[in-house]
Structure 1
Amino acid sequence: MMKSLTYNTLLVGILAGSAWAHEGHDHPPKAKTLTEVVRTGNGTFTYENVLGWGKLPDGAKLGPTHGGVAVAKDGMVYVSTDGEQSLCVFKSDGTFVKAMAPEAQGIHGLQITSEGDKQYLYGAQLNAYGKKNKHLRAVKLDLDGNIVLEIPNAKTGEIQGGVKGITGIAVAPDGSIFVSMGYGSNLIHKFDQEGKLLKSFGGRGKELEKFKTCHGLGVDTRFGEPRLLVCDREKRRLVHLDLEGNWIGVYASNLRRPCAVSFHGDHCAVAELEARVVILDKNGTPVSFVGDNPNKGQWAKFGVAPKDQTPGIFSAPHGLSFDADGNLYVQDWNTTGRVSKLKLVK
């Protein structure tokens, strides 16, 4: 029988509307390698890790993970990598199905959307690891891994600054495609369904309405009119814009370098590069801290070896996704590749 360890990490008196300056546990657990199931999180967002989830056949490695996770309606889980596996597909129980789309290797930001009765993957392909066939582009793929759209294309027009430093992608209900240049200009570009550039906004700066690594994007439909939610990583905040790029406000602040966001009902989960996932309510108030790592020496570290990883505890969450049942799939930024499933405790 597997033992369960409870990590109660929620601080009392959290400030409404922000993620406060929670930098770890008041009494953190000792860091050690565990083979038991770890219980982590708080309240209705309490999770247990699924041991051994997502193993590849014959002991193969995912390869470097610096990307995202997306879950289809049928529960299939798509994981992007910088390695030869490119895009990996798993069943919800962790069974490896296939690797696909080698030409899409190096997708950094990943999202899945429904268009009629079909679903498509959208990726921000950074692929900046010195490969011969380097791509810097946004791609749309069907669920078999075939690329059906790339940006830039013949209809795009001139993109200010090109697509250097592409990091995030999100698709609005009307089909508009938003792409962030978080490792470059910090502009966000808006395209139509065919990849024609409609406008650009944002940019780098110290001003309130400027960014410092606009890393990941999400389309937030919890407030009536859809909004763009931007992970402004190095300003440690999430901000809302309308779909024309107009400023709405700061949604959450004092985060631990937010990289990606996923929605589930009135809540969202945020992958924080500094070794934690935080779940926020509709007001931006944290209600659960998941997988919080007490070992600050592992925070935001790419080179944490498998032998030093603790199940259910993160080192550098970079991409994540809820599934329909509220379970979480989290990808760490990691040299050999790491993706974890956390099952919601009901």
Structure 2
Amino acid sequence: MRYGFGDYVYELVEGWGERRHEWDMSTVPGVAVDANDHVYILSRGKPPVVVMDRKGRLLEQFGNDGFGRAHAAYLDESGTFFCVDDAGHAVYRFDAGRKVDFTLGNKGVPSDTGCVNKDYKTITHGGGPFNYPTDLVIAKDGSIYVSDGYGNARVHKFSAEGKLLFSWGEPGDAPGYFNLPHGITLSPDEKIVYVADRQNCRIQLFDHEGNYLDQWTGLERPAGVVIRDGIMYVAELKRCNVFDGSPSRISILSLDGRLISRLENDLICDPNIGYRAAHGVAVDSEGSIYVAQIGKKHPKDYFALLKYRRV
């Protein structure tokens, strides 16, 4: 089975990824790929982080039991691994020994936004870092941008040393406002910050000072966003009932917002009977797409990371 159209057509790599009976990989919120095409898989089970090569062979596993709830994975240009812990209200950096050596946020303590029970609809005002953060991206100068979404409606920019420089955003659906900023990335020249504004079903564009530039619509709850070789890949949180290896929805866009291709399962979903949905996305040097999935009522031993090879 092939998915997509135009010059971007893909097929599932059946059975990709080593499995072990002691692992719980049924919910995988994040994925990232380094310069060697090593795939970092962030799960909400144990082990928290599994690293494989592009053929799916295990290289290492690490993490700890200190995550409130793992949410997003990120690798900077040096290959340093970062993890967003949404329920922990923190972002962690791991050193070469795979220990946390740097933390952003007041771990375990949410900021004041008026939010009740992690419901973005109850947010009354934007607050400081963090209240259930969602994703991060790091600029070449080391500046760190963090989207702060489930309990907040802001993006925060930090210095490389972790000092908060400024924040922007308030709850709402007007330009420059957010209803669950969920994914974030930078343009190749770093002049544009792209924010997946999930519940507003759009990607908003800002300059590096947080000034609103534009928005792209026509998306279904965009969750994860990454740019590779001048092309944007968007994981959309479209629910899919079948666990047959088809994509839920991945949109491929040019950097002017034009839809180039879309990998999608068109079946109507009933969330009451179990589902999966694309949450994170990464692309390797061969152009293969790795899709991290979350959901409910998965089959036993479901492996929630799919690889699609470009054909």
Q: TM-score, normalised by structure 2?
A: 0.83
Specify the alignment match of 1:21 in structure 2.
Answer: none
For the pair shown, the structure with the greater C-alpha radius of gyration is: 1
Report how far residue 297 of structure 1 moved.
Answer: 1.3
Cα-to-partner distance string for 1:141-165 (whole Å, 9 max, x where unaligned): 23552222111379xxx99344122
Alignment equivalent of 1:296, drawn from 268, 284, 287? 268
Change (3 A) 1:144 1:203: farther
Change (3 A) 1:74 1:302: farther
Specify the alignment match of 1:20 in structure 2.
Answer: none
Cα RMSD (Å):
2.2
Specify the alignment match of 2:31 in structure 1.
Answer: 69
Report how far residue 243 of structure 1 moved.
Answer: 1.2
The answer (yes or no) to whether the contact 1:180–1:214 under 8 Å persists in 2 is: yes
Which blocks of at least 5 consecutive residues in structure 1 are unaligned?
A: 1-37, 129-134, 305-314
Alignment equivalent of 1:146, drawn from 99, 117, 120? 99
Residue 228 (structure 1) aligned with residue 190 (structure 2): no
Residue 260 (structure 1) aligned with residue 221 (structure 2): no
Distance 1:85 1:124 in 2: 16
Change (3 A) 1:302 1:258: farther
Change (3 A) 1:103 1:193: farther
The answer (yes or no) to whether the contact 2:23–2:45 under 8 Å persists in 1 is: no
Alignment equivalent of 1:199, drawn from 142, 157, 166? 166
Alignment equivalent of 1:82, drawn from 44, 57, 63? 44
Cα-to-partner distance string for 1:11-69 (whole Å, 9 max, x where unaligned): xxxxxxxxxxxxxxxxxxxxxxxxxxx2111122111111111232237431432x211
The answer (yes or no) to whether the contact 1:136–1:164 under 8 Å persists in 2 is: yes
Distance 2:227 2:280 in 1: 13
Alignment equivalent of 2:89, drawn from 136, 140, 143? 136
Alignment equivalent of 1:317, drawn from 268, 271, 278? 278
Q: For residue 102 of structure 1, what is the amino acid of its counterpart? A: N
Q: For residue 340 of structure 1, what is the amino acid of its counterpart? A: L
Report how far residue 298 of structure 1 moved.
Answer: 5.5
Change (3 A) 1:279 1:89: same
Distance 1:152 1:234 in 2: 24
Percent of pairs with identical residues: 29
What is the number of equivalent residue pairs in this alignment?
A: 279
The answer (yes or no) to whether the contact 1:262–1:321 under 8 Å persists in 2 is: yes
Q: How does 1:104-253 map to 2 (within 5 A)?
A: 105=67, 106-114=69-77, 118-126=78-86, 128=87, 135-142=88-95, 144-152=97-105, 160-221=127-188, 224-250=189-215, 252-253=216-217
Change (3 A) 1:225 1:138: closer
The answer (yes or no) to whether the contact 2:232–2:254 under 8 Å persists in 1 is: yes
Specify the alignment match of 1:100 in structure 2.
Answer: 62
The answer (yes or no) to whether the contact 1:271–1:317 under 8 Å persists in 2 is: yes
Distance 1:97 1:171 in 2: 25
The answer (yes or no) to whether the contact 2:274–2:295 under 8 Å persists in 1 is: yes
Specify the alignment match of 1:276 in structure 2.
Answer: 249
Distance 2:70 2:207 in 1: 26
Distance 2:270 2:38 in 1: 30
Task: State the structure with bigger RCO (CA 8 A, min sep 6), 1 or 2.
Answer: 1
| Secondary structure in structure 2 of the residue aligned to 1:316 | strand
Cα-to-partner distance string for 1:81-140 (whole Å, 9 max, x where unaligned): 1112111111111122332011464331222111xxx321222112x3xxxxxx220111
